[in-house]
A and B are shown apart, each in its own frame.
Chain A
Amino acid sequence: MKFNKPILATMALGLSAGAVGADGHMASDMTLVSWGGAYQQSQISAYADPYVANNPGVTVTWDESSAEAVAKLRAMNEAGSITWDVVDVVAADALRLCDEGLALEIDADEVLAAAPDGTSASDDFGDLLVGDCFIPQIVYSTTFGYRTDMVPDGVDAPSNICDVFDLETYPGMRALEKRPINNVEWALLCDGVAKEDVYDVLATEEGQEQALAKLDTIRDSVIWWSAGADTPQLLADGEIFMGSTYNGRLFAAIEEQGQPIGMMWDAQVFDLDGWIIPEGLSDERLARALDFVKFATDTQRLADQAKYISYGPARVSSAPLVGKHATLGIDMAPHMPTDPNNAANTFLYNYEFWADYRDDIDAKFQAWLAQ
């Protein structure tokens, strides 16, 4: 199935004419796919509930399959029946889906709302519009949390990414994600490679070996996680001293559950999460999906999501609107990964690099793990 240009044209026309509501052109059912848990809840509160309030008669069904979205979309495509309308994926998956022809290509300025001050969507999202299909939603980061009560006496709390590799000063178990992405970058950073050279070095065999050799130094003290909930759990159980995970998970463990955990923002890796619309929807469903996405990614909606979860809105224009946590009442801005105090030393996930090198480095990483 190929995307039809005239349909997009008709749609754009419909949107610019302000046609909203369950009129004859739009399907009244919509299946949204997300990650489940607190994150999905924040989307329900910030996007879906207001959308349904504005569009009575629209039924929203949620599917918690984002982790397998790429494979499932491919399978649906092969079976010739797409049952999802809007899918929440990380940018790397969006890029992959776009490459596979499974996601709809999007013209940001045509499909997405402009900022309240008139800034076009493409300028408002800026660099975060990764690839041709991705509609950014939030900036999250992968960073470290540590048990404050396990910091040895007379030593400062860890604050530098290389403290993760320093078993002498900070003895104890670490948790790292069971994949090369992020880990090899941190390893190289702490093995003397300059930040701007990291990906050039990683593109070489020697660089990859160097990264794995660095990881080898802490290998016996690492528990490898594969689900985002693992590290907060391991920290809470006292199984590990420090571990990497998504900043929103750490926020929940620290602020909502009051665990003795500290945040280490150094060398946090920014990543993006957002929507894609599957290729091959019927005209009615596509119209509904576009209408929802336009609403859900406008400046106010993105800012609203930050009330529920500590991920940064993807629009520049949303940042000033970020307020207090919906239930805790604390100011959310300082907990955003994008907050200047936190973002002193950051990395942006290099999508192009990992799209090429993911399989290759992953093979080496897994072989290394299996040794």
Chain B
Amino acid sequence: MSDTTGSGPMLAADGTPLKESLGRALRRQKIRALALIAPLLLFVLLTFVIPIVSMLVRSVENQIVSDTLPGTIAALSEWDSTQGNAPSEDVFQNLFFDMFNAAEAKEHTKLGTRLNYENTGLASLFRTSGRSMDDIGEVFQDAIEDTDARFDDGAFWYEMMSGAGGDTLVADRRARWATLTGDSMSGDIGFTPSQEIAALLPMTATAYTDFAIWTAIEDDDVVAEEDPWEAVYVALAVDLRDPSRAAAIAGYNGAGADALQTLTATEMPDLTFADAFADLDEDWVSPDVWETVQVYSPSYTSGYFLNSVDRELTIDGVEARPQNEQLYIKLFGRTLWMSLIITSSCILLGYPVAWLLANLPVRTANVLMILVLLPFWTSLLVRTSAWKVLLQQQGVINELLVWLGFVDDANRLILMNNSTGTIIAMTHILLPFMILPLYSVMKTIPPTYLRAAKSLGATNWTAFWRVYFPQSVPGIGAGSILVFILAIGYYITPEIVGGTDGVFISNRIAYHISRSLNWGLAAALGTILLVLVLALYWVYDQIVGIDNVKLGG
């Protein structure tokens, strides 16, 4: 291989330093090994890591408010909620333009749904108001068209607004639409705003560009042939309200200059946006609504997590929810407690069965094993429904007890639609998950240990308790972790037999996923559950030691 020549580094046969050569060989090996497991790694990443990360993100993300109402949120930062007044006119003006675009993109109802989780009534407030943005706009549209009929014509508008130099504005508004809709909004719009008009009538140019982008890309229409949205008229009216504009317009001589000059001389409707919104719904001028908007305006919120622990985010900080809405802490506690009970009953019932399995002759053990595995071959729903038949008051167990005279006919046991039902059914369903690891661990404990203990003078019980049992603890540990973690996440069985005091936190998570669609809250609850499981796992590791868990061998 190499010669050790004096104090120099060891060299490989080809003259390269030995270390480098070795490093290269090892690297090659590693890459090859990595390539082999790459598909699996990718699979794990796709199916485990990504969903968990996405859940974590979902539990805090809240961009919808600032994405839908960017101008309003910016203006609202000036507002002082402690004054007890509605926000300024500026906020409402921004709200109008934000809402108008959101209504065009049908995004306002999503925002309403989001905010309704925090403040009941906002869903319909946003839904109904979104439809009415056109009505507010028409007030101005009518006034402008009455002054000069040419404003009724899409081609006229197009000519007036078109020009050169407004590319930045188009790019800005395109980005705005993209944020709002989540689409890329790319493509040719066949319109460039004139730099001059954009300086002269900034609001109007912005509103018209918004209209042009939407018309060309989403509606697939030719901008020049379409009449502008009501919002464009409103923007024009707002631009004209500024007295300083009149002089600038007087000096303007581009397309439509005369029409604009006529407009400056005309009185525009004296409608404030605040009044307009108040007309739509009194709630718009209620500080309560605006507090909610302000509290939930940041892109990320702790609100979902606070909800998950019966707290809420208010303008004054974190507060406890009203007593009659507190639910989740109780449910978390119940879930953990009942999962513990279920795990314990699985140990109590599973241990003797696993012991039998491990110690019976192979043939008998196989039959017993099939009985243990049998429940796996029927659907969860069927098994749970079977428990229903057994446990209900007119069910098999009660009938039997009454027939045997153990129970009075009038006082039949209530075995389901409560926590008892959940515990019984789930213990049965999860039992195999306790028996199998126990069995595989017990299988590895040679019978000589028991014999040795007895030969040393131990009674049957001492031999079991001091010698056999400690060696089966890793199986109990593995089984308990399996059963506990599965139990914590169960919801079908508690839903069917749990009644009211036998339901778990997962039932609420399922509800928020599939019924209320409050995925943020569901994600926060799920994250807390995950953290709880990890914490318990850590505690287990501290007390028992995770290397003391065996699934077999």
Contact = CB atoms under 8 A, between A and B. Distances in A.
A1 B185 CA distance: 11
B552 interface: no
A83 interface: no
Interface stretch (B73-81, B118-126, B346-354): B118-126
Interface stretch (B8-16, B319-327, B360-368): B319-327
B220 A238 contact: no
Nearest to B331: A370
Interface in A310-360: 352, 355-360
B402 to A, nearest CB: 13
A68 B517 CA distance: 10
A5 B219 CA distance: 6
Contacts of A96: 113, 517
A97 to B, nearest CB: 10
B85 to A, nearest CB: 24
Contacts, number: 100
Contact of B116 (A98, A239, A359): A359
B109 A99 contact: yes
B514 A363 contact: no
B106 A101 contact: yes
A357 B120 contact: yes
A224 B120 contact: no
Given A370-B331, A370-B500, A363 B325 contact: yes
A362 B515 CA distance: 11
Nearest to B385: A233
Contacts of A237: 392, 394-395
B181 interface: yes
Interface string B178-203: 00010100000000000000000000
B46 to A, nearest CB: 13
Q: How large is the interface on B (under 10, 10 to 19, 20 to 34, 35 or more residues)?
A: 35 or more
Contacts of B181: 2
A367 B105 contact: no
B500 A355 contact: no
A276 interface: no
B499 interface: yes
B99 to A, nearest CB: 15
A257 interface: no
Nearest to A72: B514
Interface string B433-444: 000000000000
Interface in A54-111: 67-68, 70-71, 74, 96, 98-101, 105
A360 B499 CA distance: 21
A364 B324 contact: yes
Contact of B220 (A1, A6, A68, A357): A6
A226 interface: yes
A29 interface: no
B123 A356 contact: yes
A105 B503 CA distance: 38
Contact of A74 (B219, B327, B517): B517
Interface string B110-152: 1011001100111110010000000000000000000000000
Given A4-B220, A100-B113, A356-B116, A370 B327 contact: yes
A100 B330 contact: no
Contacts of B220: 4-6
B508 interface: yes
Given A70-B517, A366-B508, A370-B330, A101 B124 contact: no
Q: How large is the interface on A (under 10, 10 to 19, 20 to 34, 35 or more residues)?
A: 35 or more
Nearest to B330: A370
A239 B393 contact: yes
Nearest to B516: A359
A369 B500 contact: yes
B154 to A, nearest CB: 16
A99 B331 contact: no
Given A2-B218, A4-B219, A71 B514 contact: yes
A209 B417 CA distance: 24
Contacts of A105: 106
Given A5-B219, A100-B517, A370-B330, A209 B120 contact: no
Nearest to B181: A2
B420 to A, nearest CB: 14
A238 B325 CA distance: 34
A44 interface: no
B120 A360 contact: yes
A276 to B, nearest CB: 14
A209 B324 contact: yes
Interface in B476-526: 495-496, 499-501, 503, 508, 513-519
A284 B133 CA distance: 33
A363 B113 contact: no
Given A2-B218, A367-B327, A223 B499 contact: yes
Contacts of B330: 370
A364 B110 CA distance: 23
A224 B514 contact: no
Contacts of B124: 352, 355-356
Given A4-B220, A99-B127, A362-B516, A224 B324 contact: no
A71 B513 contact: yes
Interface in B397-455: 417
Contacts of B499: 223-224
A87 to B, nearest CB: 14
Interface string B312-339: 0000000000001111001100100000
B67 interface: no
B107 interface: yes
Given A359-B116, A359-B117, A363-B327, A99 B123 contact: yes
A67 B513 CA distance: 12
B363 to A, nearest CB: 41
B517 A224 contact: no
Nearest to B119: A360
A243 to B, nearest CB: 13
Contacts of A67: 514
Given A70-B517, A223-B417, A359 B120 contact: yes
A178 B330 CA distance: 18
Contacts of A238: 394
18 contacts: A5-B219, A5-B220, A70-B515, A70-B517, A71-B513, A71-B514, A96-B113, A101-B107, A223-B499, A238-B394, A355-B116, A355-B124, A356-B116, A356-B122, A356-B124, A357-B120, A360-B120, A370-B501
The 4 tightest CB contacts between A and B, nearest first, are: A99-B109, A360-B120, A71-B514, A367-B327
Given A356-B123, A357-B121, 10 more contacts: A4-B220, A71-B515, A98-B109, A100-B517, A224-B417, A226-B496, A239-B393, A239-B394, A355-B116, A357-B120
Interface of A: 1-2, 4-6, 67-68, 70-71, 74, 96, 98-101, 105, 178, 209, 212, 223-224, 226, 237-239, 352, 355-360, 362-364, 366-370
